[in-house]
Chain A
């Protein structure tokens, strides 16, 4: 630089040092950019690298490929792309499943958004009965494994097509037709009932920060209801709406269990089924192509989100001053509306949990005689032994050990994800509409679009050997926690971004003027205001982590039992009652811990709704 400018070196050195010092001071006071750099490097390695390895998998000969012939593993090949996209198998492998996946995902997104949004408004903004209670209860369906509703559906609506015990409807004399028992309709309904809590929670959080004074001002100024909704409420809720849409759409694209259980009897194959079949049968190249199609599908959603949100200015709803939240009285419709909400709760929560529980207290399914009921599968003391000497789930120390492992790992992963998500939210919003912020925003969402098996396999390769400063984490539980925190980072990042979007710069600027350094502003101002969003960003990954299986099977240290692997083991032995009881233990643990966190921090999943 001195050569270029031609100034004496001594002076230059001084100004350079001065500049550097200024830079350091600036970074000290506002380390947003340094943080951005750190996050970009982190996400590049933890998110982009695994996806990159999948891209390579789709064009290089796979080690498991029995049809590779003379080609060596790792050679470039177009076979997988050809087979999946244009061969005469492409219809079966990709295109038909793609159409079905789009049908299901779009239907589920639209219905779940409508249902969740409506419920959030009713519970949050009206005087329906039992608001506080409903606020917590309506999140429960998401705490159950997603297939529980499909199982419950089959218990009720199955017909003779799949044999076995008669369904309830059949037993009562009504034989459900195939379209009601299997295929698109039951898949869509089951998934709506599992995923609507996303919309409910996200809308709930947004409505909480929505100042009703804004609406009232508009009303005083004479704006009609529709205008208020269109010009004030809708724009303010738009980021949450898009977030919910993205989360629900991407999740349904990747869901395997429900579409398989309800779709297989009528050959209704979706992308996730096709992907899983290819994994099972050794077609890892084709699997990579399908995974990429799923990622592209999700990315088009991300693009839509970016486009829509860009066209709206950001609306700061959390100001430095207090906001007012008024409740709309429902008047005469209060009771019927309340009953309707309780009906939703009954169908989405009581029915699946009830049918699961029923299966854990009956020796033989479907026989309703008193002697067929027992609590042995839960607690059997030292008396009657079940299943060649198995202990009841509540007495089994292995279960409690596994529960502790599950909580530890999912907890560590969730806290990592929550913190990372908050920082991403902070940087994305503070940097404004820059490419860095777009990069962070989009890349932090990508893990959501990557099918679990593919993601886990890529992580195995990434961390099996030491690479530069990164140690070989494979074989430690730390890797499971890390992979989990990245897999569920999208939840946390979304919560962080949308909350941060509503937080104005003023509170922080005020502190800056008073001379508070960055870390103090973070700890004393930003985090406390964002506590509720941060808690959502921790709890959602925690819930998902407790239910996770594919990451664990691929990455966990052999011999470490978790609750989900315990379920797998019980099912393998044919101990269905014990397996289902363990599923209920998982759900109960998630629910209890969520409530405890909410009580302790005065915030959490549904904090806004509890006031």
Chain B
């Protein structure tokens, strides 16, 4: 009796299992509403200029959008920034549409979006997302997400930031401790980071857990000339390339110099800038952390003089779920975040730049985005998507040795 019971139960269990795990049909790769993906050319940061696009020609009725959005009543947003809560509250004040906003890192957003879409139970409308490689390599081409630019802003937002739409740009750059090194960054060329003098004295966010840092490496590998020239400029002799190219040489030299990896920009900022240190490291972190100069008493400044770049441009994309349950509210929220009112939670605090040049810049941001862009490498998401794993494996194997 017990045996029979047991056997039948196993069958039930197996049955449940197989049905529960039945293959989920891959999302149909529907022809995207957007034109084919274009990655801004990874040249030394074009000072983004406004250019007219065909989208502007379309008629756009903002009032109709507002009315349709109000009918939908609410929307759900996942964003990498906690400020989604404040932005959502401001949006509700302006339009009476409730925003269920949650701070969520990229990987969780990705998992939720993919699994929601595959199960045909999409709950998210808007995503504020940083991992450009996954977005352009997977989520948009495979029909999970779409990028939408408000037609009335298509002439305002520089085209380089429209496909997919970027709403915020941040510098992630090298900084140093002013308490020890005074008003001049002790490093003037990126290759100096690989010198014995800085062995174990460079702090970065863990590339194994930071897709943007891998994208940065991939970008360097995709344009080796930049580092070749920088080597020549620094040491006065050409770089002996043993690896595939100068990009890999740089990654290897950096990895071998034993940088310390950390989980968050805040940790890096504290490591670099804490006052009263004897032998402080250099570090790469987002400019936002400079707000801690006041709150935490950090003695910290950016390595402005570093050649040929002092870091990279970290974009935050703003896209919609392909099957968003509240498409109009989502569009209105996207548009809102591109305006001064919508961006306020970010511009109130230093470190971020709206891609809309008409949105006021925080006075502590050390200049305009155009100033910054000259010193920051734009991430090459295409290279990141195709070379990401190779570059990340290369980093891991040289770093772990």
Q: Which residues of A contact B (CB under 8 A)?
A: 33, 36-37, 40-41, 44-45, 48-49, 52-53, 56, 63-64, 66-67, 72-74, 88-89, 92, 96, 160-166, 260-261, 264-265, 267, 269, 276-277, 279-284, 363-367, 387-388, 434-436, 439, 457, 460-462, 464-465, 467-468, 472, 474-475, 553-554, 556-559, 565, 568-569, 571-574, 576
What's the tally of chain B residues with a CB closer than 8 Å to chain A? 97
Contacts of B134 in A (CB 8 A): 64, 66, 282
Contacts of B121 in A (CB 8 A): 464-465, 472, 474-475
> B260-291: which have CB < 8 Å to A?
260-264, 266, 270-272, 274, 276-281, 283, 288-289, 291
B111 within 8 A of A: yes
Contacts of B288 in A (CB 8 A): 574
Interface pair A554/B276, CB less than 8 Å apart = no
Whole-angstrom CA separation of A388 from B83 in the bound complex: 13
State the Cβ distance, B264 to closest chain A Cβ, in Å: 8
Interface pair B138/A41, CB less than 8 Å apart = no
Interface pair B19/A467, CB less than 8 Å apart = yes
B376 within 8 A of A: no
Whole-angstrom CA separation of A436 from B7 in the bound complex: 10
Contacts of A49 in B (CB 8 A): 16-17, 20-21
CB-contact partner of B78 in A40, A48, A558, under 8 A = A558
The number of A-B residue pairs with CB atoms under 8 Å apart is 227
State the Cβ distance, B91 to closest chain A Cβ, in Å: 13
Contacts of A40 in B (CB 8 A): 9, 12-13
State the Cβ distance, B199 to closest chain A Cβ, in Å: 11
Whole-angstrom CA separation of A467 from B5 in the bound complex: 25
B209 within 8 A of A: yes
Find the A residue at minimum CB distance from B106. Answer: A280
Pairs across A and B, CB under 8 Å, 22 listed:
A37-B5, A41-B9, A64-B138, A66-B133, A66-B137, A161-B260, A163-B280, A163-B281, A164-B271, A261-B263, A264-B260, A280-B105, A280-B211, A284-B111, A367-B297, A461-B115, A553-B105, A559-B88, A559-B99, A565-B103, A569-B85, A574-B291
Contacts of B272 in A (CB 8 A): 163
Given A66-B137, A388-B348, A461-B118, A475-B123 contact (CB < 8 Å): yes
- What 17 new A-B contacts, CB under 8 Å, besides A74-B26, A267-B400? A33-B5, A40-B9, A40-B13, A41-B9, A49-B21, A63-B114, A64-B110, A66-B389, A162-B262, A166-B277, A284-B111, A461-B118, A464-B121, A558-B101, A558-B124, A569-B85, A573-B82
Interface pair A161/B114, CB less than 8 Å apart = no
State the Cβ distance, A363 to closest chain B Cβ, in Å: 8
Contacts of A53 in B (CB 8 A): 20-21
Interface pair A160/B278, CB less than 8 Å apart = yes
CB-contact partner of B2 in A434, A462, A556, under 8 A = A434
Contacts of A64 in B (CB 8 A): 110-111, 114, 134, 138
Contacts of B297 in A (CB 8 A): 364, 367
State the Cβ distance, A470 to closest chain B Cβ, in Å: 9
Interface pair A41/B104, CB less than 8 Å apart = no
State the Cβ distance, B362 to closest chain A Cβ, in Å: 12
Given A67-B389, A165-B270, A572-B397 contact (CB < 8 Å): no
Whole-angstrom CA separation of A571 from B278 in the bound complex: 27
Interface pair A44/B12, CB less than 8 Å apart = yes
Most buried by A among B88, B111, B291: B111
State the Cβ distance, B297 to closest chain A Cβ, in Å: 4
Complex interface bits, B72-113 against A, C-beta within 8 A gives 1, otherwise 0: 000011100110010010000000000111111111101110
Contacts of B200 in A (CB 8 A): 161
